[in-house]
Amino acid sequence: MLLLQFSTSHYCRKARLALGYKGLPYQVQNLTPGLHLLRLKPLTGLTTVPVLLPQQPDQPQAIADSTRIFRYLEALAPEPALFLKDENAQRQAWLLEDWLDESIGTATRFVYYDFRAGTGKSLDPSLSSQIVINIVRRQYGITPASVKLAAERLEQAFSILSPWQKQPYLLGNLSLADLSAAALLSPLARIPEYRDRHPWLFQRLREIHALCHEPLPPGLS
């Protein structure tokens, strides 16, 4: 299998966590932002990574979107299970996964790129890095007002995810909600303020990454 990705994308990290948890062998191909459209559009009709290419004659050519990749991997390799046996609990897992994908993954992106352009500039002050950061900020409409909203959404997220303070898995047993939270909140590991205020969150991120045999994100390694 081949995973088409951006090396720094937290949505691609989410797909890698699932592949690692399942213990499936795969390779990655890092696409160049901008040129990625040329590769992805004909394959999926979409412009986003991750995209998984099973590269097997009896399998689909391409699976786009991290949520679809979760479903595909669970059908391909049911053990170890990523879906919970209890139907109600699994519904909760899907709800959390969708909220993390649609709301929180975006909020972390906003807060992270705002940090990298401001107090976190010293992480990589090179012109090329700052150009990329500014392109991303323009592409996603990252402005002081939208960053403020994103930061507020994250505060609410920490309270919704508070079961993680007392137990290793959000819904009692490991689920796709844990993998989604571990990946989509991972950019915050580079921001000292978040690391200092929520040590429990980064402890869980470490544990989930170890379970999925995925190297830790920058800031935790």
Ligand X SMILES: N[C@@H](CCC(=O)N[C@@H](CS)C(=O)NCC(=O)O)C(=O)O
Per CB under 6 A, residues contacting ligand X are: 6, 9, 11, 47-50, 65-67, 101
CB count, 10 Å around CB of 56?
10
Q: Which is nearer to ligand X, 135 or 163 (CB)?
A: 135
**Contact indicator for 148, 155 with CB cutoff of 8 Å:** no
Provide the total of helices (H) and of strands (E) in the chain, helices listed first.
Answer: 11, 4
Task: Select 28 or 199, whichever has its Cβ closest to ligand X.
Answer: 28
- Tell me the closest approach of the beta carbon of residue 33 to ligand X, in angstroms: 7
Task: Give the shortest CB-70-to-ligand X separation in angstroms.
Answer: 9
56 vs 151: CA distance, rounded Å: 43
Distance CA 133, CA 46 (A): 22
In the numeric block, which tokens belong to residue 42?
């004909």
Q: Smaller CB distance to ligand X: residue 32 or 122? A: 32
> Which residues, 6 or more positions from 103, have their beta carbon under 8 angstroms from its beta carbon?
153, 157
Q: Least distance in Å: CB of 11 to ligand X?
A: 4
Return the number of the residue (74 or 203) whose C-beta is nearest ligand X. Answer: 74
104: three-class secondary structure by DSSP: helix
d(CA 176, CA 14): 9
Minimum CB–partner distance for residue 101 and ligand X (Å): 5
Our CB check for ligand X shows the closer of 179 and 201 to be 179
Q: Residue 108: name the closest of 147, 135, 134 by CA.
A: 147
DSSP 171: B
**C-beta closer to ligand X: residue 9 or 175:** 9
CA–CA gap between residue 43 and residue 65 (Å, rounded): 12
Write down the least CB distance from residue 200 to ligand X, Å: 25
Whether 182 contacts 196, CB under 8 Å: no
Shortest separation between residue 165's beta carbon and ligand X, angstroms: 26
